[in-house]
Each structure stands twice: as C-alpha cells, then as structure tokens.
Structure 1
Amino acid sequence: MTACAIEGGSAGAAATADPEAEPEPEEPGEPVGADGEADEEDREEYAGAGEAEEAEASSTGADARSGADDAPPPGRFTLTADGAYAARLTAAPGPPGERAWYPERWTLDGPEPYAVPLPLDQPEEPDSEVAPLADGRVLIRRRVADRQMFSLLYPTGPGTGELLLGAVGCAEMTLLPPSPDGRCVYALAAGEDHASLWRVAGGAFGPEEVARIPGRCSGGVWLDRAGRILALDRREPGGGPVKAVSVDLGRQGEVTPLLQIAPGSNDRLLLADADSGLLLLRSDAPGHDRLGWGVLGSCLPVRFPECLRLPDLAVTPFAVQPGQMLMPESCAVALRIDGAPGSWVGVWRPAGRQLHQFAAPLGWVPGAGYWSRDGVLRLPYANGATPCGVALLDAPEDVEPSSVTGRTGGGEAGREPSAADTAPAVCKPVPLGQAPLHKAARPD
C-alpha cells in the first residue's frame, strides 16, 4: 500500500475546521434476513427482493480540519460527482465574529490541485451553502428573511462574477448532492406532511419545483448517472419507520418503495454506485443501527458485515470505487471513522470482509473524498502549511491484519499524521456463521 500527497496553491486563505456533525455511533445488533428474522447462515444481508435500491452517490459534504491555531469555523465541503471540482464556504483566520466568509472553489482534476476564492463585495453568512457544477461555476444558497436566494458564482479575472437565478419562498432548504450529470443542483424543503423537491440550478427558468413527496423526507442519494432517479429517506405522513424510497424525476416525482428490510425497521440509504449497483445503508433491523450492504435489484437479503461494527466508534461510508461493472463485491469503499482521538479513514471491500484503517492527512475534510476507477482514493485536505492539497491512497489488498501497516507517529509513507494520538487497531472480520446471533449469547 502506498500513499502520497499532492499539494497545490491557493489564492485564498487556508480555512479548515472540525466536522459539522458527528454521525451516530453504531450499536451492536443481530443480522437479519429480508423477512426480519435472524439469519443463521454465514451470510450477512442484502436489500430485499423487488425493492430498487440506491445509495448516496454524493461526493460528500463535510468540513475541513486544520492544524493551524487560528483555523476558522467549519464550512461545508461538496464535490462534483466526478470529483473534478469541490466548493466550500470558508473564512480568513481572525477573531470569532470578525471573519469574512466567502465561497472557495477547488479544482482537483488537473496535475496539481488549486483553490480559487470567489468573494463578492459583501461577506456571506456562515449558514449559506455552496455546490460546484461540472463547468466550474459554484451555486450558492443564501437565506434572506424567509426566502432562499440562489446565484451562480464564477471567477472573472481578479474578481467574481455572479448570475442571479431567483428565489424560493421557504424558510428552510437544504442542498442535495450535485446531480451526476454535472449541470443540475436540487434542494429539499422538508415539511411535516410533505417535502418539496426543487431544481435550483440547471433549469430553463430559474428555481422550479419538480416534485412533492408525501411524508417527512431527508437524505438524498443519486441512483443513476443521468440524474433522474433520486433516493430519499421518508417517514409516512401518519408516522411510522423511516424507509428509503426512490423518486423518478422523469415521471413527475413518482415515488417507489426502495428498502423494506423488516416491517418496523428504519432503513436509510447512505451511498449507491450506478456502475456496480452496490448500495450502502444503515438499518436497525438487526436490533440496533448497523451498516449494511446490498446490490440494486438483487433478491438476496441485506448483509451487515461484522467487521464494520466497531465499539465506541462511528463508521460512515462516503465514497465507492466506480467502474466495477457487475462486480459489486469487488468495489473498494471508503469510510470515515470517528472516535475520541479524531477522524481517520477506513477502506473495505464486501468480498474481503476486512476493514483496513489509515491515518488521515492533517487537515483532511472528514467524509470528503472520491475514488478513481483504478482504485486510488483521493482525500482533500487543508492546513496551515498546505491551503489546498489532495492525499492519495491506494486501495489495499485484503491480507491478514498482522501484515497491515498500522498508524505510526509520522503517519504512513508520504502522508501526514492525523490528529489521532494512538493507532486504530485493524478490525479482524468475524464470519457471521461464527458470530453470536442472539443477544443472550453476546456479552455486554
């Protein structure tokens, strides 16, 4: 395994920070089949029959973490689906309350990454959101009173150009991951009994409502490369469990059930890969929230790998290796691991049943990264010494845990150490055929 870092220049200040929100820690649970009962075989579980599945092919939005003492507060970091561009809201170092916030675009597909600041005459509010497009422009959502204002920003010589798109009369909206087509950005306005889905960039006449979905919705994962099928996590208007559903934007927002692992379970979709059909999800069907995986369109039950259940740690997938046509079990999956020492990186393949853990580069944007087709994970980071950089990590082969290089004081070769003080132990997978299947058999 090799790792190296590519450092690039930035025209703006280095702005990094801690994650916006820590994911919920996973609790022990029992593997269940598609019928909701304990599965006694050496299988984990797949998404049940007849349910289309999807997972958040979002190139993740997260926050940069910096080693500088004067690091500004967190800013959301969002990547395009192909990893060519990223954008975040950042601020120059300074006393709290006096920082001038501005959008920043990162270019990541060239020989050297670099950042371009996109400030306007007035600083932005820290609750604004940004999202990059495939042509290099950056969408910004601003809240003005009870309305949401949308504009496209782009560099123009020494300044910043702005194209006003329009406004939506809504008190709260959240940008979804950029569409895989690279042209459109959608936003979700969630209400108590229904959610409104808006195309806020890429339409012909400014922001337009494209679908109304009954129930309370959250999440947002693209299931195809055309940007037509979107997965959302929905709770029915009358209450009940949260279930992932698919929304077909080509059919006026037609809603179809997607994940139905057990009747009363909360089944949320986290990631999806359109090439292989691999889905990453979180469900409490085993008795507690567990990470699971399945294959889009498969009739096999959802699998909950034992090696992804780490005590006292939160594990969240954020990127899937593309280009593995019809080979979902061979896809490398990048995971964000959060614990008391900080955040670091995990790499896992469904076929290998082994979780490899690595130190993150100093200033890594936790939960942000993307895979190349040949299995190289790219991790954006920024710190006091490098305002715009990308660390490269080759996907490891599945070998015995004793032969996997652990975390050392200086990190892995060619990479900077993370904020963690101790080395995370490499998790040894336990085949479910040998794992306890009942709470009474599992010690507390």
Structure 2
Amino acid sequence: MTAVAFERAAEDGAAGSTQFTISADGTYAARLAGSGDALFPERWTLDGPEPYAVPLPLGQPEERDAEVQPLADGRVLIRRRVEGRHAFSLLYPTGPGTGELPLGGIESPELTLLPPSPDGVRAYALAPGTLSTAVWLVAGGTFGPEHVAEVPGRCSGGVWLDRTGRMLALDQQLDGGPVKAVAVDLERGGEATPLLQITDDSDDRLLLADADSGLLLLRSNAPGHDRLGWGVLGSLLPVRFPECLRLADYAVTPFAVQPGQVLMPESCGVALRIDGAAGSWLGLWRPSERRLLQRSVPGGWLAGSGLWSREGSLLLPYATEAVPCGVARIEADDTITQPAHTERAGGEPSGGAGTPAVHRPVPLQEAPLTGRITPG
C-alpha cells in the first residue's frame, strides 16, 4: 500500500487520539465521543450481531483528560479531575438519560486507570509518588476507593498476567536506576518480584502478555537502542528481538494478542499500530514468522485499539460521520497489501558482536514465591 493510500485512510475518518478501551472479555468498549469541548462518554456493545453505541451524557461536557473504562455488566467507570482530586463514578443508561453512581475520590498529583481487570468486575488505578507507587481499587470494592498495594519506586505501565486479576506487571524504577518489569501480587499486599531482567543496565518494559500461551511483548534497549522483543514465561530461551519489527522512521506499538493459543506462543497473532508521517496503519505478525505484514485500516479507525477473536480474526473499531459505530474484520491470511519486511538470516534471536547477553524472563509461577520486595 502506498503512502497516498495511508493519507486517504487518515483523511476519510475521525481516527486519532481519542481513548478507546475494550473490556477484557471483549463485550463492551468505552470512549469519550463528541468534538471540540462537547465531549461525553459513549459505551459500545461489541458482542451482538452488529456493534452499537449508547451515549452517556450528563449535565455538562467532560474534560478532555477524563478517562473511561467499561465493566462486564455494561456500566462505564469514569475518572475526572475535580478540584485537585480524582473523582470516580459509574455511568449507566437509564430511560432517556444517564444514571450516575459516585464512588468517591483520591487525592494524588498523578493517577491513571490501569487496563481493564480480567474479571470484568473490578477496576484499578495507579498513583506514582516520589518513593513508591500506590495501587488503588477504584471500582468493585466495598466502601469506595481502597488502597490495595504500595510498590517501591516509581511505577508505570500495567499488564495483567493472569485471568483472575491477581498478578499485575508494572514497570518499576528504583532510585533513578533502569526501568525493570516486576510482577506484583495484589493478594499479598503488593509483593513485587523481578519479571524482566535482560541486562543489569537495560530498561526492560512489558507491553503485553497473553495468559493462555505465556507470550510476552516487551520493549528494551538491551540491544543498544529501544527494540521490540518477545519472550515466553517459563521458557529457557532468551528474549528475542525480531529484525522485522524494527522499522526506520516509524513507531511500532503492539496493542492486541490472539487468545486461545494454549501453550503455543509462537502461533499467536499480534496486532501492531504503525505510526508515520502519513498517519497510522496496521501491522500483523506472529513469532513463528519472520515477517511483518502491513495492512490498510478502515477510515476513522480508533488508532491503537482492536480485539483478536479466538478464531484468528482481528476486529478494528472505527467511527466516521456516515458510520458512527463500526467494526471492521481483518483476516490474518488476507492478501498482503504491502511487501513484508523479511527478517535477514541470523536476525532472530537478536545477536552478534556487541550485542548484550540476554536472560530468560522469570517464570510467572515463581513470581509470588521468590525474591520478594517488601512493600514500602
């Protein structure tokens, strides 16, 4: 596909910076819709014959920095900044209007919602401080926001490692040192254990994890500069940095992994957002294949969002004037729309002179049991 086609895809629709969050089970999604300063929460239903959207406006428009997240029961959590506090409410359709259930607030200079919990019932937020980072349960608790963990250092990111919502991976920085991914056990008060330790001095961040296969997608500067890599929880093989995922002048970010590939991480389809001067488009890749397929996207793609089905189809949400709530289906075995970047011999795993040695990730089953860091 040519750059002209990429530009046309960007011009045709409203894809852009609007946050679009899909629930862990793929049933619902939520975003801030509208234009200019007239923003309102909108819930999408994705598990029916056709997707449809339900607007959830209230008495005044939402600020652009508000965050929304769908729960499994169809309610939408919203985080707002109100007079220096982060206030949380649950929104739901009621008759012709919108119902709102206030949940309370948290005082913190910084706070962001973590990705949707695998159980679909609870929602968490991350509040980094100077010496430690707080993990808050902001929905699904008993008495409003509950402090559930205090993790040493400044933490960011957030990737769920299991299907129960117990094990959470965070990118941790201690005393200005390198960033390392750690596994945090929320049922043990935030006990943290190393998850990614590629070299002593490298920044190793976890981007995505699949609980079925154990596939990990990560970003690290262990090869000498930031690269996308992959590994497997519990594997004795080193982390690998495929050459095909290294695109000059483009940013490549994974956003969805195909579920259901139990114990077959190399067969998992991975969807990647590719950003360049001409806009954003789609990359498709599997660890077993040393090539990256680049595809056009529907006009109005809500860039960086999508959902893999267990059958291997990728669902991409989009919104345009003509179709305000749409989902395009991309089949992984469709005709390639742009020549693939084929990995050169020896490119995977990353190696060669001057390349730092790499070490396997700590197996997930060991994470709650060894090398614990006492919560601060």
Structure 1 residue 297: deviation in Å? 1.5
Q: Where does residue 431 of structure 1 map in the other structure? A: 345
Structure 1 residue 341: deviation in Å? 1.1
Q: Deviations over 1:183-235 (max 9, x none)?
A: 01100111121111100001111101100111011000000000100000010
Find 1:117's aligned residue among 51, 55, 60.
Answer: 55
Q: Is there any run of 5+ residues in structure 2 with no aligned partner, and where? A: 1-8, 356-376
Whether contact under 8 Å (2:16, 2:303) holds in the other structure is: no
| Counterparts in 2 of 1:429 and 1:207: CA distance versus 1, 3 Å | same
Q: Distance in 2 between matches of 1:436 and 1:302?
A: 11
> Are residue 311 (structure 1) and residue 225 (structure 2) matched?
no
Whether contact under 8 Å (1:307, 1:428) holds in the other structure is: yes
Q: Distance in 2 between matches of 1:328 and 1:72?
A: 31
Whether contact under 8 Å (1:78, 1:130) holds in the other structure is: yes
Find 1:86's aligned residue among 29, 32, 48.
Answer: 29
Q: Where does residue 137 of structure 1 map in the other structure? A: 75
> Are residue 67 (structure 1) and residue 5 (structure 2) matched?
no
Structure 1 residue 252: deviation in Å? 1.0
> Are residue 336 (structure 1) and residue 273 (structure 2) matched?
yes
Q: Is there any run of 5+ residues in structure 1 with no aligned partner, and where? A: 1-63, 398-403, 407-423
Q: Where does residue 101 of structure 2 map in the other structure? A: 163
Q: Where does residue 140 of structure 2 map in the other structure? A: 202
Instruction: Determine what percentage of the aligned residue pairs are the same residue.
Output: 67
Whether contact under 8 Å (1:66, 1:364) holds in the other structure is: no
SS for the counterpart of 1:300 is coil
Structure 1 residue 172: deviation in Å? 2.1
> Are residue 149 (structure 1) and residue 80 (structure 2) matched?
no
The amino acid of 1:427's aligned partner reads H
Q: Distance in 2 between matches of 1:134 and 1:229?
A: 19
Structure 1 residue 239: deviation in Å? 1.6
Whether contact under 8 Å (1:119, 1:160) holds in the other structure is: yes
Whether contact under 8 Å (2:184, 2:192) holds in the other structure is: yes
SS for the counterpart of 1:203 is coil
Q: Distance in 1 between matches of 2:345 and 2:298?
A: 32
Q: Which has the higher contact order (CA 8 A, sep 6+)?
A: 1
The amino acid of 1:85's aligned partner reads Y
SS for the counterpart of 1:250 is helix
Aligned pairs (5 A) from 1:406-421 = 406=337
Q: Where does residue 151 of structure 2 map in the other structure? A: 213
> Are residue 390 (structure 1) and residue 318 (structure 2) matched?
no
Q: Distance in 2 between matches of 1:168 and 1:65?
A: 38
Aligned pairs (5 A) from 1:342-421 = 342-396=279-333, 404-406=335-337
Q: Where does residue 198 of structure 2 map in the other structure? A: 261
Structure 1 residue 429: deviation in Å? 1.9
Q: Distance in 2 between matches of 1:73 and 1:276?
A: 31
Q: Distance in 2 between matches of 1:104 and 1:144?
A: 21
Q: Distance in 2 between matches of 1:348 and 1:306?
A: 12
Q: Which has the higher strand share?
A: 2
TM score, norm. by length of structure 1: 0.75
Q: How many residues align?
A: 346
> Are residue 324 (structure 1) and residue 261 (structure 2) matched?
yes
SS for the counterpart of 1:362 is coil
Whether contact under 8 Å (1:273, 1:322) holds in the other structure is: yes
Whether contact under 8 Å (2:15, 2:318) holds in the other structure is: no
Structure 1 residue 383: deviation in Å? 1.0
Whether contact under 8 Å (1:377, 1:393) holds in the other structure is: yes
| Counterparts in 2 of 1:436 and 1:285: CA distance versus 1, 3 Å | closer
> Are residue 291 (structure 1) and residue 234 (structure 2) matched?
no
Structure 1 residue 343: deviation in Å? 0.7
Structure 1 residue 428: deviation in Å? 1.5
Q: Distance in 2 between matches of 1:220 and 1:74?
A: 20
| Counterparts in 2 of 1:438 and 1:120: CA distance versus 1, 3 Å | same
Structure 1 residue 165: deviation in Å? 0.7
SS for the counterpart of 2:177 is coil
> Are residue 275 (structure 1) and residue 212 (structure 2) matched?
yes
Q: Distance in 2 between matches of 1:378 and 1:333?
A: 12
Q: Distance in 1 between matches of 2:263 and 2:351?
A: 32
Q: Where does residue 8 of structure 1 map in the other structure? A: none
The amino acid of 1:76's aligned partner reads Q
Q: Distance in 2 between matches of 1:433 and 1:342?
A: 28
Q: Deviations over 1:333-390 (max 9, x none)?
A: 1111111111111111101112111001101011100101010000000112110000
Whether contact under 8 Å (1:319, 1:369) holds in the other structure is: yes
Q: RMSD in angstroms over aligned alpha carbons?
A: 2.0
Whether contact under 8 Å (2:308, 2:315) holds in the other structure is: yes
| Counterparts in 2 of 1:73 and 1:258: CA distance versus 1, 3 Å | closer
Structure 1 residue 157: deviation in Å? 1.3
The amino acid of 2:144's aligned partner reads G
| Counterparts in 2 of 1:219 and 1:428: CA distance versus 1, 3 Å | same
Q: Distance in 1 between matches of 2:238 and 2:60?
A: 53
The amino acid of 1:175's aligned partner reads L
Whether contact under 8 Å (1:65, 1:366) holds in the other structure is: no
